[in-house]
Structure formats: structure tokens, C-alpha cells
Amino acid sequence: MPLRDSATGQVTKEYSIADLRDAACLMRGYNLVALCAAGSGHAGGTLSIMDIAAALYLHVANHDPKNPNWPDRDRILWSAGHKAPALYVSLGMAGFCPVEDIVTLRKLGSPFQGHPHWLKLPGVEVSSGSLGQGLSIAVGMALAARIDQKSHKIFCLMGDGEQQEGQVWEAAMEAGHYHLDNIIAVIDCNRLQIDGYVKDVMNVQPLVSKYADFGWDILRIDGHNMSEIVDAFDRARLSSGRPVVILADTVKGKGVSFMEGQPGWHGKAPNREELDKTLNELGLAGRIPVEELLAKAKAWQAEATRALDARMPRFSRDYWWNADPATMQVKMEPTRKGFGGALAENGDDERVVCIGLDISGSITIADFYAGHPERANRWISMGIAEQSATAAAAGFAREGKLPVLGSYATFSAARNLDQLRVSVCYSNLNVLVAGAHAGVSVGADGATHQALEDLFAMCGLPNMVVVVPCDAIETRKATRHLLLDHVGPKYIRFAREATPIVTDESTPFVFGKANLIRLRAEGAEFAGAFEARLAEDCANEHEDLSIIACGPMVPEAMRAAWILKHEFGYETRILNMHTLKPIDSEAVIRAARETGIIVTAEEHQIGALAGIITSSRELYGTRVITSAIGVKDRFGDSGAPWELVKELQVSAEHIAETAIELMSTKRQHAEHFVHA
């Protein structure tokens, strides 16, 4: 059943098995070019699913590219949203969008987001990226079709690692219970996930008997044999009374010798040289206009950069990081390194147990056991199962262990919110939760992976304490403190991208006590020009204004202070509010009373920091003007992390612009601002 014209019911294009094989090969090529142009993305899984995708989009599914919302179309859901580029090239080949445009993948403003967003691209059925949710959506769609007496099918593409998510099994149970024979699930059984082989990370086999027990029919095929794929879909369509799952045996990285079966190629893109090799191996040299496509990607990027810079607040010169090698120079390191460093240093404590959630290397929790085989029994891999792992951490804590779990903050502090609330916080158990890759720092992955709401939730949980360190050094100190000294539920939030190092070993870090930072004199490098001390040890210097910041916004606040001094002569008091909960109220009140202006700066939806500060009861009656920098009630976007800092208006320039406005208000009402 191929591509159709929805108006006439006529078939618009027929693909033979040989055509499909050729199309899949070409799709692999376009996929790799897009990944190369993006500089990031998932090569392994997009290549393993490609033959199935080609069959589905070009031959099996009943759909019409000219009428993507045709009510009678078959629905195709990509539960494994990280395979988005394979979805995009499928849509491109089927005619839903120009295949040449996919090369703008993961760039700011592109409809080809790092993970699919149905509101940005016709043909994408649902937004995905958080694994394990697609089959539940399919259940809803299948039941809706039944109510509406429609006969279309709902296809749902999943990974084998994804089967570790408990939600998959809730959906499998529902589909079996309701005899949803309009669901055809496909599992891309490439046997690998991020941390290694599925069987080692968290075995999901035998899938056959699991699905059978839930009332499904099972087909097992070679996921690279086009005849078998097409035949399986034909048979699945005929199923009556039972949902069908196709277990497709595949090879991760299929088609490219140096990617096949290599875990390292899960979330990696080929560079230019590697791209040429892949295209040669696929026999595609000369068939894809690579140079033209890469030029298109470059042009998109240039325009995105131009438009973004045009929207930035302007000053007499460029104050961006490292723009002026004499003054704005900083070392950059990802804050996550501090987390892993602290676990490595303090992991000998026999009570420490680290829980892996299949993203262990990049969030650095793996540093706990790297080079320490004696710690192997305290490294517990739980797979992609954040909810159960969170409650398991509560179990460890109840037995006197010091459990640490971490993932992307969206998965370790959102997906598992109820487990955190009841099993961890209500029980007041000693669990350290790491919100890694938080904020905009995952950049090109896009909105699904950018935690911009986690601090609301974590600060809102009774008993939970929350620390958001400002650089890698402070992250190491904070992790150590939380791990060994603080007893109770605790959340530490850090980032993926390298950010400026603005503290050193001698900078104080006292849990619950803000540091006060002041610009003193220009040093050899940016950070050296500032002095940081415990706020409670600092006398009032009658600064013009205060900026209260946490996490990666502390360096931005420092840069804003620099701009304000150089452009306007204003003196700024910066509070590094690394501990968001409990907040250092004394430092806040003093900042309000002694400067009369507070600008809060958070790399998060506005309100986690701003809400705590401005709702402080002790501020009642204090004459203070406040404003908040942060994300303004919107989702993020794919783009480079530093582009997103600009796009979401959380840069030093935005802080400085706001501070200038508040200074002008303060001057207009000068008589009210006579300070201590």
C-alpha cells in the first residue's frame, strides 16, 4: 500500500523491493550529510532503522504528502525521538518536505529540530525525545480511531534499550487489554544503547514472551532484509483482535563499516572526512550534492547568526567571552566535570552507591568507577528507567547507603517527579539527585532535552535542598558537600557545555551562604579582576545595584557588572546564590536595603530564583526595584548553547540592559532610595 493521493485514492508512486533498497541507501547518505552539517546527532540508530523507515514511508503507509493531515492516513510515531534525522529523510523522500532542506538539521530556527516537533514540520505526527512515551500515545490514537470507526493503522517505532522504560509496559498492557489490532509496533533490536549492550546495561529479553503475555502477536525479522520487512508489515496489517509487534534484528550503524556495532557512534556525527568515507562505502559518491547541501547549511547558519546578533542589546564594544583577549579572557570547562571529579575523589566511602541511567559517560557519573574496579559492586546500572531507579535510590538510602543518581535533568528531576516527591522527599531520605545537562547546555538536542523547569519542581519539594554551582570548581566542592556532609534529599544541577571558570580553590563555598562578588581591577584574565567572599563577611560598599544569580548565570552576571562599570561607571554587587534552597535571606535583604535594585538571573524559566527572592517576607517594606532575567514561559529550540543564551535572552548583555533601565527608575525616584 504505497503513497496515495488522498483526494482520488490513486496510488501516486510505486516502489519495488529494489527501489526501496536503493531509497534506503540514499536516505542513509542524506542522513549522514545532515548529521555532518549539524556537527552532532545520532548516527548509529538512524542507520539501523533506515531500511524499515524506507519501507514504511515509501511503500507500507497509506499517506499523502500533499495532505499531511488527511484524517484517514496511517500514523507513524517515532517514540525513539533521537532518530529524528531518519524520520526527516523519510519525509523528504516521500515528498512531505524538500530532502535538501534537512541539512539545516539542529540549527537555530530549523524545522528539523534535534528531536521531532510536530508543530514545526508537517508529516511529524507527535513530538518526542523523552523515551518510552510513544506507545502510550499510540494507544490513545488507536482507541480514538476505534471510537471514530476509522480503519487506519498506528505504527510506533521504538528502540530495544527503550524497552527498559516501565511506561512501555503499561502501554503494552493497555494495547493488549483493549485488543488494539490497529497498532503495529516496531522495535529496532540493534542490541546497543548508550552505555553498551542492552543485555549488560539492563536486559530486556525475552521480548517475545513479554509481549505475548500482554496479548500481542509477534513477528521476528531481519530488519535489513527489505522483502522480509515489507512482508512483515503486510502480515501485521491483517492481524485481528491483537496488536502486533515486529522485532527487527538490526545492526547499529548499518552500512558504514566503522560505525557498525560501535557504541561510540550512538550520539555522534561524522566529520567531513568521515562523511566522504561513509558515502563511498554506501556507493553514493556523486549521487548526493554534498557541497551544495553543506553550503545551504552554512547559509542558514549565517542568517540565523545575523538575525540573532541584530536582536542583541548593543554597547560601545563587544564584551562577549574571549572577544577581547586582553580583558574578557576566561578558561572554560563544563560544570559536569566537577561532578564526576568529586565522585571519583570521594567514592572510596563504602556507603556511596552510584546508579547509572544509560547516559553515564557524558554526565560523568561513570568517573565514580573509572579506574576503580574495587567500586564495581557499588556501580548499579539501571538502564533507561528513571522512575524505578529513583525509588530504588530511596531503598538504598533507607538501608544507610549514600545513593547518587543522575541523568539529563529533564529525566532525573521531572520524569520521576512523583517518585522524588513520595519515595525520596516525603520519606526524607538521603538521596543525591544530579540534574545533568540542565538548561540550554544541550543546545542542538532541542527543547525536549533542555531542562528549564526542574528548579521549580525541586525547590517546591519539602525537605529537598537545591544547589546550582557556577563553575566546574564549585560543582566539585558542592558535590562533595552534598554527598558526604548533607543528610536528606538533595539536588545538584549542572551543565553540559563548557562555561567560564570564575572561582578557584580558595573561593569559599559554604552551603546555604551566598558569595558576594565585586569587580575590583582589571587583571590578566577576566576572573582575576573580581573578588569573591562570603556575603556575610562583606561590608556595605554602597553599590548602585545588585545582581543575584545562580549556576552559569553567575559568570554572565560578572560580565554584566563589567559592562555596567565600563559603559556607565556603575558599581555592582553580585550574589552567587549557589544554594537556592535554603536561600541566604540575609544576603538578599542586605542587597535590597543597601543597593535598592535587585536583578535576578537564572538559566531557567523565570521564577525559580526570582520567585524565592521577591516573595521573601523579610523584604516587605523595603524600597527595592526588582526585575528578572530568565526564560520567559517558552520552550527552547535547537541551536548551539551560546546561541540559545542569546535567543532565550539570558546573556550578560540582557542583564546589563535591564539593570540600566532599573538604574534610570531609581534615579527618577532618588528621594525614596536613601540606603543604610
Question: For residues 42 and 73, which CB has a smaller minimum distance to ligand TPP in the complex?
Answer: 42
Q: From the CB of 196, what's the least distance to ligand TPP, in Å?
A: 11
| Minimum gap (Å) between residue 410 Cβ and ligand TPP | 8
Paired sense of beta strands 379-381 and 402-408, if any: unpaired
Q: Which one, 187 or 553, has the nearer CB to ligand TPP?
A: 187
| CB nearer ligand TPP, residue 360 or residue 515 | 360
C-alpha cell at 274: 568521515
Which residues does 352 contact at the CB level (< 8 Å), separation at least 6?
Answer: 343, 346, 368, 378, 401, 402, 404, 483
What single letter denotes the amino acid at residue 257? Answer: S
- Interacting residues with ligand TPP (CB under 6 A): 44-45, 48, 80, 82, 129-132, 159-162, 188, 190, 192-194, 252, 266, 358-359, 384, 407, 411, 415
CB of 81 to ligand TPP, least distance (A): 7
User: Cα–Cα distance between 117 and 106 in angstroms, integer?
Assistant: 12
Tell me how far, at minimum, the Cβ of 313 lies from ligand TPP, in Å: 35
Q: In whole angstroms, give the CA distance from residue 174 to residue 183.
A: 11
Closest-by-Cβ residue to ligand TPP is 159
Nearer to ligand TPP, 361 or 488 (CB): 361
Q: Which is nearer to ligand TPP, 85 or 555 (CB)?
A: 85
How does strand 11-13 pair with strand 3-4?
A: antiparallel
Per-residue DSSP letters for 7-35?
Answer: TT--EEE---HHHHHHHHHHHHHHHHHHH
CB of 160 to ligand TPP, least distance (A): 5
CA distance 81 to 97: 18
Task: Specify the residue for cell string 552559569.
Answer: 552
Quick one: cell of 197?
Answer: 549492550
Residue (186 or 532) nearer to ligand TPP, CB: 186
CB of 162 to ligand TPP, least distance (A): 4
646 phi/psi in degrees, rounded to 5: -75, -50
Beta strands at 545-549 and 597-605: parallel, antiparallel or unpaired: parallel
Compute how many other C-beta atoms are within 10 angstroms of the C-beta atom of residue 193.
28
Angstrom CA distances, 33 to 38, 257, 263, 386, stand at 9, 17, 20, 33
Report cis status (omega within 30 of 0) of the bond before 206. Answer: yes
Nearer to ligand TPP, 252 or 513 (CB): 252
Closest distance to ligand TPP from the beta carbon of 466 (Å): 22
Helices marked H in 242-332: 272-281, 290-310
Q: How far, in whole angstroms, is CA 38 from its chain's centroid? A: 16
| DSSP string computed for 203-218 | ----HHHHHHHTT-EE
283: left (phi over 0), alpha (psi -120 to 50) or beta: left
In whole angstroms, what is the distance from residue 206 CA to residue 445 CA?
A: 32
CB 491 within 8 A of CB 578: no
Nearer to ligand TPP among residue 9 and residue 264 (C-beta): 264
CB of 481 to ligand TPP, least distance (A): 27
- Residue (137 or 145) nearer to ligand TPP, CB: 137
CB of 18 vs ligand TPP, minimal distance in Å:
26
Main-chain dihedrals φ then ψ at residue 579, nearest 5 degrees: -95, 110
- Supply the minimum distance, in Å, between the C-beta of residue 482 and ligand TPP: 23
Q: Which residues pair with 381 in a beta bridge?
A: 356
Q: Minimal distance in Å, beta carbon 359 to ligand TPP?
A: 5
What is the side-by-side order of every strand in the sheet holding 75-78? 75-78, 154-159, 183-189, 244-249, 217-222
CB of 158 to ligand TPP, least distance (A): 7
Query: DSSP character for 514?
Result: P
Identify which of residues 220 and 623 has a Cβ nearer to ligand TPP in the complex.
220
161 versus 552: smaller Cβ distance to ligand TPP: 161
Do the beta carbons of residue 543 and residue 676 sit within 8 Å?
no
Residue number with CB closer to ligand TPP (385 or 599): 385
